[in-house]
Amino acid sequence: MADDCLFCKIIAGEVPSTKVYEDDTTYAFKDVNPKAKVHVLIVPKKHYANVAELAQADPAELAHIVEVAQSVADKEFHGAYRLIFNTGEDAGQSVFHVHAHVLTGETMEE
């Protein structure tokens, strides 16, 4: 856990969130500023700065995050979803704990 990381604090229960999914390695919760009808963030419980770091250190966890994304979409919108990882400040990453944005719940434009 990184002491100053918002998502580490959410995982630890120090900051409230609306949990969607949790297991031993992964936590998913509703985004507080949704960009779609359903907007869920999926994070590994272990701290990695971005998706590239996660892919190098633990590719199985990255695959698991994709499985969780599919599960969320299956429950919320017949399996269709958009999955986004922002990597780096210039790409819009504002919390430097890797997180997948799952957008679903409605038909999306390209």
Backbone angles phi, psi at 98, to 5 degrees: -50, 135
- In the set 47, 64, 97, 99, the catalytic residue is 99
Cα–Cα distance, 90 to 88 (Å, whole number): 6
| Residue 78 falls in the annotated catalytic set | no
Cα–Cα distance, 33 to 96 (Å, whole number): 17
Helices assigned H by DSSP within the chain: 6-11, 51-57, 59-76
Q: Which of 65, 75, 13 is nearest to 41 (CA)?
A: 65
Residues designated catalytic: 99
